[in-house]
Amino acid sequence: MKKYLLSAIFAGFLTACGSGSGGGAGSATTPDGTKIDLTNSPKGHVSAKTVDGEFYGKNNNDSFYGIWINDAKTVKETRFQGTKATNLPSGSATYVGDAYWVSGMTGNPSRGGKTTLNVDFDQKSVDGKIEFSLLKDGRSQDITLHKTQLNGTEFKGDASTLLEKGTYQGGLFGNGAKEAAGIVDFKNDSYDTSFGGIRY
């Protein structure tokens, strides 16, 4: 993806729900052609109005995960990106974060849940779970990220809810692989989700 610096334009429509400044996720181009400079944007939960939609997500130091939905609520996209991890550690690590999706009931962007991603750098394996609360998050089915291989800094595997089967993909980002992000895709796209976390 090409990098664009649109700080002057971007500052006019980016809203930060978190604190801090500057992430390391590079630039994002939404399906309607809007280019967003994530590296020079605030960190935390961010949102922006695009040409024909809205862009939401979590902008960390070295990664971004989130969603885009058009104004008519007929097209949506889950997405992630970042600065590829370097200096991978040994042993195992757990990444904890949250998730973004478009509600199948309202068509509105939603955020919540608890993402837990387990990475064993020695065995080169990844697995995890995205847990939701029906009352808090409005989703009744947790997503299981089944055990898969870590190939360098990337991973792809099978995912499932109680009733649906799908796939997930993602990567590790930043020096020391301090961050993780990815997406889950289902045939029933109302369960499609972006997720991520910070290594603890």
Q: Which helix (H) or strand (E) holds 137?
A: helix 134-137
Q: Which residue has the tokens 């990844």?
A: 126
Domain boundary among 52, 82, 112: 82
Give the pLDDT of residue 105.
Answer: 80
Same domain, 167 and 101: yes
Same domain, 77 and 121: no
* Distance, CA of 158 to CA of 166 (rounded, Å): 6
Containing structural domain, residue 34? 7-82
Same domain, 42 and 122: no
Closest C-alpha among 39, 49, 40 to residue 15: 49
- Domain total for the chain? 2
Per-residue pLDDT 10s for the chain (200 aa) are 322 223 323 333 444 444 444 456 899 999 999 999 999 899 999 999 999 999 999 999 999 999 999 999 999 999 999 999 999 999 999 999 999 999 888 888 999 999 999 999 999 999 999 999 987 888 889 999 999 999 999 999 999 999 999 999 999 999 999 999 999 999 988 899 999 999 98
Half-sphere exposure of 140 (CA within 13 A, CB side): 5
DSSP string covering 33-62: S-EEESTTSBSEEEEEEETTEEEEEEE-SS
Domain boundary among 27, 53, 82: 82
Is residue 2 assigned to a domain?
Answer: no
Same domain, 116 and 143: yes
* Residue 187 belongs to domain with CATH number: 2.40.160.90
Give the pLDDT of residue 56.
Answer: 96
If you ran DSSP here, which 8-state letter would residue 82 be given?
Answer: E
Give the pLDDT of residue 23.
Answer: 57
- Please give the angle made by the CA atoms of 34, 81 and 1, to the nearest 5 degrees: 55
Same domain, 108 and 193: yes
Beta strand pairing call for 44-50 and 179-186 = unpaired
Around Cβ 58, how many Cβ atoms within 10 Å? 29
Closest C-alpha among 171, 177, 161, 166 to residue 196: 171
